[in-house]
Structure formats: C-alpha cells, structure tokens
Structure 1
Amino acid sequence: MAKEEDDDNLPDKDAAKEFYAKYEPKEIIGRGISSTVRRCIEKETGHEFAAKIIDLSQESQDGVDTHIMRDATRQEIQILRMVAGHPYIIELQDVFESETFIFLVFELCKNGELFDYLTSVVTLSEKKTRYIMRQVLEGVRHVHSKNIVHRDLKPENILLDDQLNVKITDFGFAKVLNDGEKLFELCGTPGYLAPETLKANMFEDAPGYGKEVDIWACGVIMFTLLVGCPPFWHRKQMVMLRNIMEGRYSFTSPEWADISEDPKDLIRRLLVVEPSERIDVHESLMHPFFNTVAIKSGGFNARAKIRLAFVVVRAAVRLRRLPHTSARAVALVDALRDPYTMRALRKVIDGCAFRVYGHWVKKGEGQNRAALFENMPKTELKSLYVSNLSR
C-alpha cells in the first residue's frame, strides 16, 4: 500500500490481521469523532468498499465510556443485519472486532451524501424529488416492517450510489421496538426532530414516541429537497423548536410558487403534529404524488405515428414564433428591490452563494442558505446581486 501523509493514523495491523489480510485500505473518505472511513479494496476480487474504522482506545475518547461505545456499535451491527438485503439500505459486508478497534466494511457509495448532492444542485425538480423520496420511503417501510425506528433520518444519513440510488445509513440511533413500546430518549438532529420527541423530553406525562418520528423526518427531507432549505430552520434554536412543536411552516416563499399541489399535499400529511393523525409509510407511497401513468404497448400504429409527427412539427413551429422568455430584459429596479422573488434570478443567486461558501452553513445545524446573508448590509447584498447579474 502506498504511503500517505496520514498513514500514521492507521491502527496497528496486529490488532486486525483478518481485516488487513482480506482488504487493502486506501485514502480517507470521511471522519467522525471516533472513527475514520477509508475506501478499501478486497484483495481477492478487486471490488471497492468503504471501511469504517472505529477507535475504542481510551486515549482517543476524551472520557467517553468505550464499553458503552462498543455495546452501541454491536447493537448497530445487529440492526444492520436485521435490515440487510434491501436495495435502498446500506449493505454491511464484513465486521472485524479487536480489543481497540472495530472494522465495519460497507458497500461503497461513490456519490456520497444526499446532503452534498443537494448542496451542489441547490434544489431538485419534482421528478427527481419523487425518485429520491420513493426510495427513501421504500427503505423506511422495510425498516419499520422489522419493528425498527431509525430516529436520525436526514440528508447526511442518506448516501447515493453510482446511479444516484438511495442507501439509508447510520443506524447508530436505531432501536428495535417491542409491541406497543414507546421511547423517551432525546436523540437525533434538531431540525428533523418530531414534536413528540421533543415533548417526551420536556413533559413528564408525555406518551413517548414510536416509528412515526421517521415519517416526520421524511416530510422535512422532502420539503428540503424541493426548495433547498428545511421547513423549521431558525438561527435561534428555541424559535426553531417552538416552530416544530406547533408544526409552523409555510409554502409562501418564492420557490413554492413553482411547485405543484401534490407534493405540497404530501408534505402536509407527513408534517402533522399529532402522530396518530400523521400519514404512515404505506399511505405515503400510495399518495398521488407517486402515481405515474404507465404507457401500454399496443403494437405499431403507422397512422398514429404520422399524426403524432404532425402535432410535434406544428408545436415546434408555434414555439419558434413565441418570444423566448429568457431573452426578456430584467428591470434593474426590480432586481435591486427583491431579486430572490424573481424565478429567473433565484438559481443565479443560489449558485453564487454555494460557490462562495461551498456548503449550507454547517451540516446538521443551520441548513438554510438564507442564513449566509443574514448579517450582510443591504447595500452590500445589492452590490453582490448586481455584479452577478452583469456577468
């Protein structure tokens, strides 16, 4: 294996002889508080995988109980094996455990996190959102069929493979539920927490929560995919949590003017404060948003083909006679007054912001591009917009 500048961080090979005998670790592709993820090659087949190397040494944990970490990792492995075999859930290939390290070998998802993909494209079309959300919900349905709740669904925990297919990952907070069991621990990511999760932590008489919290998280993810920012985000976390508790969000931003009614209706049904009234995963997949019209094959019909060709030619001629919308000049006074409300400018503004910052503020915290400009004077903002428009 070629030496890298960070190879000193690799664990002692004597601690996991089986892993090193079977796999050849390559470059680092991810880091966690106590883990490193490396691309690795299976020596016998040449296939690529992702190896998550969890460090259980006392020196690296800063007071964290390594026994608890080991038990939590074993529980995650058990759950991963319970949900294995589904096309939209990450596949655990191998496990190697030593006294100080645990090696988890997963399938490699070369397109990385859905979060990073969304950052690069700003927003997804309804068609692409339908494609992603159908797979997410299919994966969640499989997880729930095993009486497991994920508890931390978010774009960072959804990977994309070579064909941009979904792979739900990170089952560290997942829990197997007994019949009728309710949970009370506060875990997950603030912007994706369901109201009942917050209530279970705040009120002694709260009834707890169950698998419905994953459905709420799917609603937050779907909202975010369509317009590029989550529904409940606020720079003051207490305000954000209050908005979640009250289910306070809106479709009034300029981006929503271009979104049809079906996805809005599904989001309304996913983001219902009362979990007993929230749509379940089966009903979600049957929603009109996911309905597609199948084209039946009825053999070759020459007359129909010719008629269709005439219609296409006629439509093309008419389109050429129409003034092209992109050729219309944008009034400078309108662009200065409120550029973000103008559909033609939104992608330009978002694209510039993403190129400057490279991310949405901070992963898992304020995932809202609007926050990037909150502390800039209006005169400075206008100068930025005008300079970008003139390019």
Structure 2
Amino acid sequence: QCTCLLNSSTMTIANSIPSEENNEYCNQFHSKYEPKEILGRGLSSVVRRCVEKSSKTEFAVKVIDLNNLDTNSEDARQDALKELRILRLVQGHPNIILLHDHFETEAYIFFVFEICPHGELFEHLNKVVRMSEKRTRGVMRQLLDALEFLHSRQIVHRDIKAENILLDAEMSVKLTDFGFATEVETDDCLTDLCGTPSYLSPEILVVNMYESRSIRGYGRPVDMWASGVLMYTLLVGSPPFWHRRQMTMLRMIMEGRFSLDTPEWEEVSEAAKSLIASLLRVDPGQRLTSVQALAHPFFAKQELPCVTFDRRTRFRSAILAVRCLCRLHRAYAMPARLELRRLRADPYTIRNMRRLIDNTAFLVYSHWVKKAEDQNRAALFENSPKMDLAAQDSG
C-alpha cells in the first residue's frame, strides 16, 4: 500500500486497499513530481502545485477522489475519463488549459495541468470589481476564440463562468474545467440539467422545467449565452440576472429580463451593449455564434488615418499637450464640487459616489449587491434612524 500526501495532515491519495496498480501509478507520480501547497479544493478534488523533478517546471495537479463522491464510484470514473478524452480532443489552443500528464488508480485520478499564477478570473474580478472596456475586449476575444475552437469540433463546454477561466503569467485567458463538456451532433440533442444557476440559458431551464414545450433540447448556443452573462459582469461588476430568491432569478433568465440603461452603463460603448444584447437573446436560433460574435464591431480594429509629418505642427501640438497636462494635474488635485441637494436626493447618480458605494458594498457584504427596481445601494450606508425610532424619540 502506498500513501501519497494530499495535504499537511493525514489525507492520502492512495486507496486503503493494497493494489499493485495503485502502487505503480502512485510511484510513477511521485517519481516524476514533487507535490507542494494546496491551490484549491472542490467537492471531490484537490488542486495542488507540484514541481516536475527532471525540469524543475511548476504545474498544477488536480486529484479526483472517486471514493468521496455521492454517485457510484464507477460512474464517477467514467465521468473523469470522459473529461480526459475531451481534454485530449481540445489540446493545442492557446486559450485552453494545457494537459501535461495524467495518472489513474482504483481510487484516484490525477490531471497534471500547466499552472496559471494569477488564478481565477473570478478572484481577479473580486479585487478590481469591474474591468475596463479595453481589458474586457481582450478577455472576451480570447474566450470566444476558444469557444469557436470547441464548437467547430462539435463540443459544448456547458459551464462557462468566471471561476472556470484562469489567468496565466501574461494575464492571458485559459479555459478550464471540462467536467460538463460533451460532444453534440445537433444543437438540440442535450436535455440534462447542469451548469451554474446564474449562467444557465433559457432553453436549459425550459427543457428541464416544462413537460409540454416547443424546444426539444439544447446545444452549443448555451455557451454563447453564458459568455454574454460573463461580459455583462466584467463591465459593470454585477451579473445581469440576480435575485435573492432563486426562482425569481430563473424566471428573469427565461424572460430575458436585464437592463443596459442603469447609471453604471453610461460609460460603456454602444458596441459593447449591442454585443451583450445579441448574446443574451432568449431564442437560441437568434443568438450569435462564436464566429459571428468575433466579427462583431466591438472587436473591430480602428484604422488610424495616415498623416504627413509636419515639424512645426508637431512642436506646437507638444507644447499644447504639456500645457493641457499641467492644467489636468491642477484640476485633478482640486476636489470636485458636489451639489448637496443632489447628494441628498440620490447619491448613486454621481459617478464618484457610485464607484465608492459599489466598492464598499462588495467589501462589506462579500457578494454582489445589485441595484434593482426595489433596491437602492446608497440606502445601505445611510446613517439615519428608522421612522418608528424617530417617532418614539419625538414623543
């Protein structure tokens, strides 16, 4: 029996039943790699940093515990082997996680991936709250390019979300977690319910919630819907479909109820809004494909006009630029004027106050606080007594 350490305490990655196969693969893993600290945990898996002994290169090993699952162990093994087969099919794309090695025992399966030092896109988004349009364009272009690669091979991911996108050393996107990925023949052949609730597409919900329906199933368009949800979240820092009651949120998804007219969208271009609206169409037949999305004007290169060099004009422009920078510096150092009446009436309409409220709300509550029709983020920070308490004091 071999005992390979999974954490700093007593957990092992070898089966408790003696097995020559366990010994063989466990010894193979430890002869090639040196496991390090834990990077993350799942319901039935642990991800650790490891170092390849021969090259001293760092990798991330995902260890799946087949005995720690609610489902049958053999079914879990088949699911893991299916994920392995899909991973092999999609290797070679720069924005899909690279599978470096793998091992299999009776109780555990090892996936050795390239390591992404900057972690999940979700963690990065938690730090910055929202991304600039330029940075969002880069992330979405890489994601859509990876999806075009998958979809051209008749593969649907089914779990596109910020948590399943990693950032490498150059902050490039790496699509990962192919546990729900599967091959499809048509775009209406899948019926099982899987994915993350806030990223589920309307057709997935309709297929699983209604017996009498006009939709037979779903396919690759579900990835495009999830991409639209992700792009919305990157730009404004909150998801398009969110509610405390999950059934209300699911109803919003099926009806396609989201807004691009709230104050936080004032700084976003019409091209970005148009792409999001085209991805979040309820009818999967009208939703953009990955190829169509990549051809959207949001990703179009802006050609600069060709101008001749004029020394006098350039020198004058440089002087004006320096004077402009000096004035901007003075203006930046001078605090902006705030209207007290407007601040009291609705502080959320003021750009600087809106950013302060959004950032503070996330730090205080550690989750999204979405401004809906009956909610007011600014009210979370009002320092005034409730009406009944004020009436008591006056009495």
Please confirm whether the aligned pair reaches a TM-score higher than 0.5, indicating the same fold.
yes
- Hey, what's the Cα distance between the residues in 2 that align with 1:96 and 1:305? 66
Query: 1:378 deviation in Å?
Result: 7.8
Query: 1:318 deviation in Å?
Result: 4.4
- Hey, what's the Cα distance between the residues in 2 that align with 1:233 and 1:32? 24
- Note the alpha carbon deviations across 1:74-112, whole angstroms, 9 max, x for none: 000100110001000111111100011111111101111
What does residue 316 of structure 2 align with? Answer: 310
Partner SS state of residue 370, structure 1: coil
- Hey, what's the Cα distance between the residues in 2 that align with 1:86 and 1:51? 20
What does residue 13 of structure 2 align with? Answer: 11
Unaligned runs of 5+ in 2: 15-21, 385-395
Unaligned runs of 5+ in 1: 361-367, 385-391
Aligned partner of 2:356 among 338, 343, 348: 348
Partner SS state of residue 243, structure 1: helix
Query: 1:199 deviation in Å?
Result: 1.0
What does residue 364 of structure 1 align with? Answer: none
Q: Check if 1:151 corresponds to 2:158.
A: yes
Query: 1:335 deviation in Å?
Result: 3.2
Q: Point out which structure has higher relative CO (alpha carbons under 8 A, 6+ apart).
A: 1
Query: 1:246 deviation in Å?
Result: 1.0
Q: Check if 1:381 corresponds to 2:388.
A: no
Aligned CA distance change for structure 1 residues 86 and 66 (closer, same or farther; 3 Å): same
The farther-off stretch of 194-203 and 43-52 is 194-203
Counterpart of 1:101, as a letter, is Y
Query: 1:310 deviation in Å?
Result: 2.0
Percent identity, please. 46
- Hey, what's the Cα distance between the residues in 1 that align with 2:379 and 2:304? 54
- Hey, what's the Cα distance between the residues in 2 that align with 1:260 and 1:112? 29
Which residues in structure 2 correspond to 1:171-210 (within 5 Å)?
A: 171-179=178-186, 182-204=189-211, 205=213, 206-210=215-219
- Hey, what's the Cα distance between the residues in 2 that align with 1:296 and 1:167? 35
Aligned CA distance change for structure 1 residues 309 and 280 (closer, same or farther; 3 Å): farther
Conserved? CA contact 2:157–2:180, under 8 Å: yes
Query: 1:356 deviation in Å?
Result: 3.7
Q: Check if 1:264 corresponds to 2:264.
A: no
Aligned CA distance change for structure 1 residues 46 and 203 (closer, same or farther; 3 Å): same
Aligned CA distance change for structure 1 residues 376 and 346 (closer, same or farther; 3 Å): closer
Query: 1:330 deviation in Å?
Result: 2.3
Query: 1:309 deviation in Å?
Result: 3.9
- Hey, what's the Cα distance between the residues in 1 that align with 2:377 and 2:285? 45
Q: Check if 1:140 corresponds to 2:147.
A: yes
- Hey, what's the Cα distance between the residues in 1 that align with 2:336 and 2:167? 38
What does residue 388 of structure 1 align with? Answer: none
Conserved? CA contact 1:195–1:273, under 8 Å: yes
Query: 1:236 deviation in Å?
Result: 1.2
Aligned residue pair count: 366
- Hey, what's the Cα distance between the residues in 1 that align with 2:186 and 2:378? 56
Counterpart of 1:256, as a letter, is W
Aligned partner of 2:238 among 229, 235, 252: 229
Conserved? CA contact 2:348–2:378, under 8 Å: no
Conserved? CA contact 2:361–2:377, under 8 Å: no
What does residue 338 of structure 1 align with? Answer: 346
What does residue 255 of structure 1 align with? Answer: 264
- TM-score normalised over the length of structure 2: 0.85
Q: Check if 1:27 corresponds to 2:52.
A: no
Partner SS state of residue 51, structure 2: strand
- Hey, what's the Cα distance between the residues in 2 that align with 1:127 and 1:288? 14
Which residues in structure 2 correspond to 1:363-378 (within 5 Å)?
A: 368-370=368-370
- Hey, what's the Cα distance between the residues in 1 that align with 2:95 and 2:379? 47
Query: 1:297 deviation in Å?
Result: 9.2
Conserved? CA contact 2:87–2:99, under 8 Å: yes
Counterpart of 2:258, as a letter, is Y
Aligned CA distance change for structure 1 residues 338 and 157 (closer, same or farther; 3 Å): same
What does residue 388 of structure 2 align with? Answer: none
Counterpart of 1:345, as a letter, is M
Query: 1:138 deviation in Å?
Result: 0.5
What does residue 46 of structure 2 align with? Answer: 36
What does residue 61 of structure 2 align with? Answer: 51
